[in-house]
Amino acid sequence: MTTPKPRRLLVIIPDRLTVLVDKGEITSRYYNPGDLFDEVHLLLTNDDHPDPEAVQKTVGRARLFIHNLPAGHGLFFRTLGWHPWLLRGWLRRGLELARAIRPDLVRTHNNFIEGYLARAIKEALHVPFVTSLHGVWDRDELDSIPRRLRSLFRRKLERACLEAADAVIAVYKPIVRYAREFGARDVHLIYNIVAGWHIAPKSDYGLHRPPRLITINRQRKEKDPSNIIRAIRDIDCEYLLVGDGPYHEQLVALAEAEGCGSKVKFISAMPNEELCKLLQECDLMVSHCDYWGISKTLLEGALAGLPIVVNEHPLEPIPDYEGGWLTLCDNTVDGYRTAIRKFLENGEQRHSMGVAAGRHAQEHFAPSSMEGKVVAIYRRLLMKTETS
């Protein structure tokens, strides 16, 4: 009896996994949903060298292989903004690695240099690929001249990737429009898979003493919680701020300047499992986000049955927020203060919105359901290649 050929998945990602490990943002089977593959090869387009043992859980039972093919700022400038003709050397090295791995399927995170390599692998080796999109890239991160120029140069890669992709995963609703306008043919709305098996839904909506508020976000311009800190200055509460980023030091200084340093607790990083368990012990999730979609932390908060307050998008409504399952407010001190006080003073409102959030989460982004949708896409594409 012949031994069946192992199924191999090649995942091309820009993330520095060491950073995600340090921040506790490691989710079981994230790169191998359903334990579908026997081998998972993570190709990092950077020079990061994470501890394989710390990353193993992301591929489940599969054998893990980690490779590097750096494509940072140096490559961007050397190739005059990722000009296709000047990328041939980098693509050749990527193709050599793919030939050695012999993947059955390729998955890329975003459609920049990673997606362009997946397209080249498909053309050379006839291997299908799936691209997941984690931003609305014709609108997100365009707030400075360098970012606008970078976006302009990478447009050719974005379109080339999406036109060639066998399936495209949009992790929130506004991405669907972007994907289709840039040439994607088979688009699926599948929210980020979070560590839902560590999240127990709330059963008691009585307030802690003092009430516990929580924000979990990368501390940067688009997710700046300054107005939330100002809003809780005169509110009796304990405010947990989980995350780190370029705004961290100024947020610590702001809390002290506002006289509420003693009620704001900064936690730079926490293992995802512990963070998910912590949600049940909080009374209210409060967030600020100016990106064009829903963040993973709101998915986790909703799965925990927390009532949620988040700001209205400054330009247009976010369709993922529709359905009455969270509370929207102005991104002002008064907007947050009013919304927070409403929940702290009204137990019935707190309970009903927490239950609504939990119900909506189970219907629209339960981790098991999202994982199942990804597995279905993978199986369909594998069946085509295995029967061809």
Q: What is the mean pLDDT of residues 86-104?
A: 96
Site of tokens 């009896």: 1
User: Percent of the chain at pLDDT above 70?
Assistant: 98
Q: Residues 92-127, buried b or exposed e (16+ Cβ, 10 A)?
A: eebbebbeebebbbbbbbbbbbbbbbbbbbbeeeeb
| Pairwise CA distance, residues 275 & 24, whole Å | 9
pTM exceeds 0.85: yes
Q: How far is CA 378 from the centre of its chain?
A: 20
Over residues 48-66, the pLDDT tens digits come to 999 999 999 999 999 999 9
Of 53, 59, 61, the C-alpha closest to 18 is 53
pLDDT at 94: 97
**DSSP string across 198-253:** G-PPP---PPPSS-EEEEE---SGGG--HHHHHHGGGS--EEEEE--STTHHHHHH
Task: State the CB neighbour count (10 A cutoff) for residue 137.
Answer: 21
Of 124, 129, 188, 127, the C-alpha closest to 163 is 129
Equal fold, 8-192+367-387 vs 196-364: yes
Site of tokens 């997941």: 132
In the chain, where the domains are located: 8-192+367-387, 196-364
Over residues 115-138, the pLDDT tens digits come to 999 999 999 999 999 999 999 999
Phi/psi of residue 213, nearest 5 degrees: -105, 150
Numbers of helices and strands, H then E, in the chain: 14, 13
Residues 6+ apart with CB under 8 A from 13: 42, 43, 44, 45, 108, 109, 114
- Predicted confidence band of residue 2 (pLDDT cuts 50, 70, 90): low
Q: Is the peptide bond before 33 cis (omega within 30 degrees of 0)?
A: no
Over residues 346-368, the pLDDT tens digits come to 999 999 999 999 999 999 999 99
Average pLDDT of every residue of the chain: 93
Fold of 196-364: Rossmann fold (3.40.50)
pLDDT at 387: 67
Over residues 265-292, the pLDDT tens digits come to 999 888 877 888 889 899 999 999 998 8
CATH number of 8-192+367-387: 3.40.50.2000, 3.40.720.10, 3.30.450.70, 3.40.50.2300? Answer: 3.40.50.2000
| Pairwise CA distance, residues 243 & 216, whole Å | 6
Residue 230 C-beta-side C-alpha neighbours within 13 Å:
10
